[in-house]
Amino acid sequence: MLPGQGDLLMAEWDRQDRERSRHYAECKECCSEVARDDMIDGLCFECDEAAHPLCACGCGESAIIVADVVFPTGIDCRAPWVDIEHALGAQDTTERPTIDVIVPAEDFEKIIAAAPCWCGMASTTVLRWCPKHGKKE
């Protein structure tokens, strides 16, 4: 029996799906379709950044605390940090904040697991990272 137009069309769609699945995959967290080369352990860049944030100072190390840093000018910054010393060196001026104005999060893993959205706080603070959406520039 000869294949009909419908059979040929289905075979072409199957071929296209196989070809696409070689180059693209679904993010395990947000289910968006991402190029396989852009994925990190099955997560898109944004989901990986939210789950495994790097220190906000730019040192490239994985953060293990979240701290609110209040500068003498009154601007505060909630961001992930390696430790308190990295957070203390967060400002560019000569006056460093003291340790009492830095409030580290007690349970960093719980914050990441709950994935609250901190984007709404942007009007009152300079946010560099959101547990739900990852790094914000």
Alpha carbons within 13 angstroms on the beta-carbon side of residue 64 total: 6
Task: Say what the pLDDT of residue 100 is.
Answer: 43
pLDDT tens digits for 10-33?
Answer: 888 888 777 777 788 888 888 888
pLDDT tens digits for 21-72?
Answer: 778 888 888 888 888 888 888 888 888 888 888 888 888 888 888 887 776 6
Residue 120: pLDDT band (50, 70, 90) is confident
- pTM to 2 decimal places: 0.58
Mean per-residue pLDDT over the chain, rounded: 77
Write down the domain spans for the chain: 5-44, 53-135
Task: Say what the pLDDT of residue 17 is.
Answer: 77
Residue 60 Cα distances to 23, 80, 94, 107, 118, angstroms = 28, 12, 23, 21, 22
Task: Say what the pLDDT of residue 1 is.
Answer: 54
